[in-house]
Amino acid sequence: MKLTPLENWIMDRTGIATKSRADLEAYQYNQLIQTLNYCKEKSLYYKKTLEHIDIDSIQSFKDFVKIPFTDSENIKKNALDFLCVSQSEVKRIITINTSGTSGDEKRIYFTEEDLNHTIDFFQYGMRCLSNESDRVLVLLPGKAYGSIGDLLRKALSLSHTQCIVHGVLTNLEEVTHLIQEYKISCIVGIPMQILYLSRLKSDVFQTYIKKVLLSTDYVPDILVKELRGRFHCDVYNHYGMSEMGYGGGVECEALHGYHLREGDLYFEIIDPQTGESVKDGEYGEVVFTTFHRQAIPLIRYRTGDIARFGADPCACGTFLKTMDKVSGRISNKVLLHNLGEVSLRDLDEAILQFEEVLDYKASIMDGDQLVIELTMSNLYEFENRKEEIIYCIYKRFYFPVHIKLKYQQDNRTPKITNSMIKRKLYDLRTN
């Protein structure tokens, strides 16, 4: 099994001499202190937040947990307060709106150097799965300068790998044609879009696609199982978000969790209730701090994602940490009045096992009614499968739940303007 290419990259980037956690952690500690000093000096937000913190008293990672968390609400309130450079140095702005409500946007800024660091990560991250003989199709936005697709294109050209950046999937026939014309062997995209493509164009998928990199959102296990089992694809997961500078970590050939961008980011896993660190092997919320980020460095940023550090070393032999695949978002779990809990993760596993389902949207309405709109090719399939799907959802819960299924005709004109938007479980209850 090939050692993760991230290992040598991180050693080069950090300048550590030996493959040791102690050396890497010493580097990370120094970077944390630099980030704290930089933020306190340059960012209005951190100037205030860190006002009463004596940075000299932060002598270890243990002391570092005294520093308050940052969350997305803080950035939403005033992203410019986070900005550490003049606006003329900003080369890319990402606007994220997770709720669809205007005024609820979050802006993330990048300088040229910030973007170059991501290209660097993408170059080595993509080597985990692709090489010069691959032809890579990227189904992520790539038109704008500094967009995720643009950075991937630049990264792959540095590795002399042929790459076509198409943008998100909006036209199935067009994408199918591209796969055939360019004999695409490796595809990068949003999990639910890849599922959609593979289910409607299974022949083409089976003939051409050998490797898949899933990115930008939580990946249901059932999806990975289907791509591996049905199409014999190697399925790699990437973990990242705009706030990280798109990239955070990627799986190695062991396909057992991500190795992280440890030369650029410091990761913690915390108990979301108490804010305390949890032990390796225990689940909690992912928190990260950026190193050398110029425009918007972030300190102890709460991602809202649930994951854990693997307790055992990875089979590829690296000394880098491994983080188990993110198992969902905290906000995608809803507590019912009868104390039962509904999560998008459970629904995914119950609903997506039906190959006729192309997508779905789940909402919890008053009276704890679970309304699920299933996107399928035709009404006949829906009527045929309805009872069975309801039964499978029931089976996943250990408590009574009212389920209503609705049919949604597949008419794919996705409104995806930002590829980093995550799927949601909608809690629309008024009481």
Task: Give contact residues for Zn ion (rule: CB under 5 A).
Answer: 4, 252, 254, 314, 316
The least distance separating Zn ion from the CB of residue 307, rounded to whole angstroms, comes to 16
The least distance separating Zn ion from the CB of residue 254, rounded to whole angstroms, comes to 4
The least distance separating Zn ion from the CB of residue 81, rounded to whole angstroms, comes to 39
Comparison of 314 and 344: residue with beta carbon closer to Zn ion: 314
The least distance separating Zn ion from the CB of residue 276, rounded to whole angstroms, comes to 28
Nearest alpha carbon to residue 158 among 132, 133, 179, 184: 132
Comparison of 259 and 385: residue with beta carbon closer to Zn ion: 259
DSSP state of 16: -
Nearest alpha carbon to residue 359 among 238, 171, 191: 191
Comparison of 9 and 46: residue with beta carbon closer to Zn ion: 9
Comparison of 254 and 392: residue with beta carbon closer to Zn ion: 254
CB-hemisphere CA count at 13 Å for 348? 24
Contacts of 9 (CB under 8 A, 6+ apart): 120, 121, 124, 263
The least distance separating Zn ion from the CB of residue 257, rounded to whole angstroms, comes to 8
Strands 90-97 and 322-323: unpaired
Comparison of 8 and 418: residue with beta carbon closer to Zn ion: 8
Q: Return the C-alpha torsion angle 337, 341, 342, 345, nearest 10.
A: 170
Quote the CA–CA distance of 35 and 299 in Å, as a whole number: 8
Indicate the SS3 state at residue 351: helix
Quote the CA–CA distance of 385 and 313 in Å, as a whole number: 43
CA 93 from centre of chain:
19
Contact 262, 250 (CB under 8 A): no
Angle at 184 between CA 183 and CA 185, to 5 degrees: 115
The least distance separating Zn ion from the CB of residue 351, rounded to whole angstroms, comes to 31
Q: Which helix (H) or strand (E) holds 288?
A: strand 284-290
Between helix 5-14 and helix 21-42 the angle, nearest 10°, is 60
Comparison of 167 and 310: residue with beta carbon closer to Zn ion: 310
Comparison of 74 and 123: residue with beta carbon closer to Zn ion: 123
User: Which residue type does 49 have?
Assistant: T
The least distance separating Zn ion from the CB of residue 321, rounded to whole angstroms, comes to 10
The least distance separating Zn ion from the CB of residue 118, rounded to whole angstroms, comes to 21
Length of the chain: 431
The least distance separating Zn ion from the CB of residue 125, rounded to whole angstroms, comes to 13
Comparison of 178 and 254: residue with beta carbon closer to Zn ion: 254
Comparison of 214 and 316: residue with beta carbon closer to Zn ion: 316
Quote the CA–CA distance of 284 and 277 in Å, as a whole number: 8
User: Which residue type does 183 have?
Assistant: K
